[in-house]
Amino acid sequence: MKNIRAVLVTCWAFTGLSAIGQIPPGYYDNAEGLTGPALKSALFGIISAHDVQSYSQLWGHFQSTDARPDGKVWDIYSDRPDSISPYSFTFGTDQCGNYNGEGDCYNREHSVPQDWFNSASPMLTDLFHVYPTDGWVNNKRGSLPYAEVGSTAWTGLNGSKTGYSITPGYQYTVFEPIDPFKGDLARTYFYMMTRYMPDVSSWTSPMFSTGDLSAWARNMMIAWSDGDPVSQKEIDRNNAIYQIQDNRNPFIDHPEWIHSIWTSTVGVEESRSNADRLWIANGELFRSNSSTAAVVEVFGSDGRKLLGDVFLGTRFQLPAMSAGVYLARVGTVTLRFVR
């Protein structure tokens, strides 16, 4: 993934996705004002009672959930949003069957592979994590975890690839999608961790641990979501799936909740037992532990990373920022503050 080097955006305005995303009035009322495990539990209560589809119905649903503007199949493993895609699929006509190579047909890709949850329902047919993708590339991915590839074993025509992981914390063979779809898949995984929070502890994958994302996968997915913000494609897909399943992906509607659950919670828990403590005073960020250098990051209320730098010593001058709620993260410790 491209290295996202940080420059603070001093003049930015948060435009909520509610109006764009067509969120039903009151849909998230039970989650408002919550953070951490309480927020995750509230969201589970909101999205868990979805209308389960049959496996065969997914083919038809893809025509409303995953259609490109030109009417072709939107395939996250073969499309190139920033250039010309190497090939395209027509709904129905190019549905797999058999395939002998890339570009032959599309099938149903479980971004959380079926064998991780023993092909159980309702996960099997949950459209939020089932995408139409090239059958050959889907097979290349198989049940490999998502991560970032160093030494490449295979590369698809749109740049998706398999190879040895260079993601800190996991050093085995993985599948890496292209950058423009990393945020989509990250928000998909945060949805799955929330929608199926009572079940994840029984799932088998190196990406999961103790009923949630493992530490390396969590950190990577947060970075992927921050680096690839919510797109109109995701908003449209969220709305289309809501019409079918009667539930939504909260992390498309409110990407800032990713940090509220998976970043701020870790920070609060670790800051209680860690010697490092953070606080804000007179426009400066202070830390109690100055023995080592640490990366400092600042995130806006929409989950976007606005600043990245190295924290040396005990104080860091924050540039001018517009009024709003922010998260500052230094190492593993996170502080929520208001400017």
- 305 in any annotated domain: yes
Instruction: Work out the mean pLDDT of the chain and round it to a whole number.
Output: 86
Are β-strands 325-330 and 294-299 bridged in parallel, bridged antiparallel, or unpaired?
antiparallel
- 255 in any annotated domain: no
Predicted local distance difference test score (pLDDT) of residue 1: 40
- 150 in any annotated domain: yes
Q: Is residue 307 domain-shared with residue 332, that is, in the same domain?
A: yes
- 26 in any annotated domain: no
Q: What DSSP state is assigned to residue 31?
A: G
Beta bridge partners of 310: 295
Instruction: Give tens-digit pLDDT for 226-243.
Output: 999 999 999 999 999 999
Do residues 150 and 165 make contact, with C-beta atoms less than 8 angstroms apart? yes
163 pLDDT band (50/70/90 cuts)? Answer: very high
Q: Which of 218, 249, 280 is the last residue of a domain?
A: 249
**269 lies in which domain range?**
263-338
Average pLDDT over residues 184-211: 96
Sheet holding 294-299, edge to edge: 305-311, 294-299, 325-330, 333-338
What whole-number distance in Å separates Cα of residue 39 and Cα of residue 46? 11
Nearest residue to 213 (alpha-carbon basis) of 3, 32, 40: 40
This prediction has a pTM of 0.74
- 47 in any annotated domain: no
Instruction: Give tens-digit pLDDT for 89-108.
Output: 999 999 999 999 999 999 99
Q: Is residue 182 domain-shared with residue 286, that is, in the same domain?
A: no
Q: Is 328 helix (H, G, I), strand (E, B) or coil?
A: strand
Predicted local distance difference test score (pLDDT) of residue 264: 47
Q: Is 123 helix (H, G, I), strand (E, B) or coil?
A: helix
302 pLDDT band (50/70/90 cuts)? Answer: low
- Which residue intervals of the chain are DSSP H helices? 18-21, 36-47, 57-65, 135-141, 182-195, 215-227, 232-245, 250-253, 256-258, 264-273
Which of 262 and 336 is assigned the larger pLDDT? 262
Q: Is residue 281 domain-shared with residue 163, that is, in the same domain?
A: no
What whole-number distance in Å separates Cα of residue 328 and Cα of residue 308? 10
Q: Which of 205, 226, 249 is the last residue of a domain?
A: 249
User: In total, how many domains does the chain have?
Assistant: 2
Nearest residue to 24 (alpha-carbon basis) of 42, 45, 46: 46
Nearest residue to 82 (alpha-carbon basis) of 306, 304, 233: 233
Predicted local distance difference test score (pLDDT) of residue 303: 65
Q: Is residue 82 domain-shared with residue 215, that is, in the same domain?
A: yes
Q: Is residue 126 domain-shared with residue 56, that is, in the same domain?
A: yes
- 8 in any annotated domain: no
- 331 in any annotated domain: yes
Q: Which of 249, 279, 306 is the last residue of a domain?
A: 249
